[in-house]
Structure 1
């Protein structure tokens, strides 16, 4: 594959980017390469990892599509995970959008460090340059079109949004429900929403789901929040939280609350590289 012909989807393992995988398999869009930046087997939601490995990867292989799962590899050759960076002894790093006491998200670098740069490194390895940029498709649907951003890109890539026809004359104007239907009609199970299991952008219902369905990950999220605040106590800084409610996670979430329909997302990640 020459640099001029690189056409890759940033694959997140969620509904929208899986719909792109089906559309590519059906020949409705031209993207023969799908790249997933894995922020870590200890960081990604296990349901997403299971879906990618047991459903998406075999489907891609059956339809002649290359689906590659990429790790963040440091210069010394070791793999760094987002959980590992957060929990490293003595670390002061806060790469995730933790919530301040007023509920507002803080600065984050997780998307840039563990997704955008990881995929960018692979694109450049394959020959993408400023002179011959790769076309990178991102799974943003019509109901989340405010997340589409064609300005904040690197010179080796041209970002497009095939589900809504931004940057590509696809003729598609698809919503999340349309994406779910496309996946189901292809005979595939509809994937869960993709994200790190401890993401501060989770809605309260997602936290409650985590507590019921993955109590081990619920406890790890509590441990993460407590660890971050122990460090901040040592530095004389205010506490931070994994929800917008300004109280510890174990107090913020009613783990018995009933399931509610998903309405949008509580926050967003840069360039649409998460939650797709």
Structure 2
């Protein structure tokens, strides 16, 4: 949407806001820098980076109140569970609201007059129209330009490709428990340092968050980043789940193409990293094996 606004396809926005959890992949920060430098700045659109802290550091700090990540739990009786997800509200929504209040001239806890509000654009495409919701405060009114334009994710990818931005990475915490196997594999196969980071974090949160443990509220079980509820270093991330397989088939319209996309070309490489001694396959603008 920033590019659409900068190019005049959509009206020019006053600001673009990025809520930083402090633990995004390096590729996301590099992409944000590029967008700010090549797209936003020439169009005169300020990019505001807001944050309430580093989610990774906070989770391991016994002196810090931690907003729970949705960790997979293996209880003492062997039953599976999951912790509540509070991180989006704490590390994404909260800093955005604080910034919006400041832009309006009514920092918390000042009361905002009913007639004062911002129009906030949310980047949800037609594929996920069910996620389009109103804001929970009156001083923010959500609008969904991509849905208004009838754009799907594929339309967005085509547009980004036309701007030379086909490699736009997904913004999410490096160690988000909602990663699919493909995302875990991408980290492992393309960024050894980041893989070591998430493996270390996974081991560190086995007994729950540090603040709860320090206060005597120990987790009655074990916590994991991967849905298999085994250490990330041992998790079956090379296994393609039924949901991932169905998504690939639907996106590509072919079982054969989906197989090649997941496994790479015969005797060659996976879409993200070399698997053997064969020459690496060529890659298209999306970084996928062709």
How does the TM-score come out when normalised to structure 1? 0.73
CA deviation after TM superposition for structure 1 residue 92, in Å: 7.4
CA deviation after TM superposition for structure 1 residue 58, in Å: 2.9
Matched, 1:238 2:221: yes
On the 8 A contact 1:180/1:190 being kept in 2, the answer is no
Counting matched residue pairs gives: 227
Secondary structure in 2 aligned to 1:244?
coil
RMSD: 2.6
CA–CA distance in structure 2, aligned partners of residues 178 and 44 of structure 1: 25
CA deviation after TM superposition for structure 1 residue 231, in Å: 4.8
Matched, 1:141 2:119: no
Q: 1:58 aligned to 25, 34, 38, which one?
A: 38
Secondary structure in 2 aligned to 1:62?
helix
CA–CA distance in structure 1, aligned partners of residues 7 and 146 of structure 2: 14
CA–CA distance in structure 1, aligned partners of residues 99 and 65 of structure 2: 28
CA–CA distance in structure 1, aligned partners of residues 46 and 31 of structure 2: 16
Structure with larger Rg: 2
Change (3 A) 1:46 1:261: farther
Q: 1:37 aligned to 4, 9, 19, which one?
A: 19
**Gapped runs of 5+ residues in structure 1?**
1-19, 73-79, 166-171, 265-276
Q: 1:113 aligned to 90, 114, 120, which one?
A: 90
Q: Deviations over 1:222-246 (max 9, x none)?
A: 2222221245788251112112112
CA–CA distance in structure 2, aligned partners of residues 117 and 91 of structure 1: 17
Q: Deviations over 1:72-115 (max 9, x none)?
A: 2xxxxxxx211121121466735211123366643122111111
Q: 2:100 aligned to 123, 126, 131, which one?
A: 123
Structure 1 residue ranges, 4+ long, deviating more than 6 angstroms after superposition: none
**Gapped runs of 5+ residues in structure 2?**
107-111, 249-290
Secondary structure in 1 aligned to 2:145?
coil
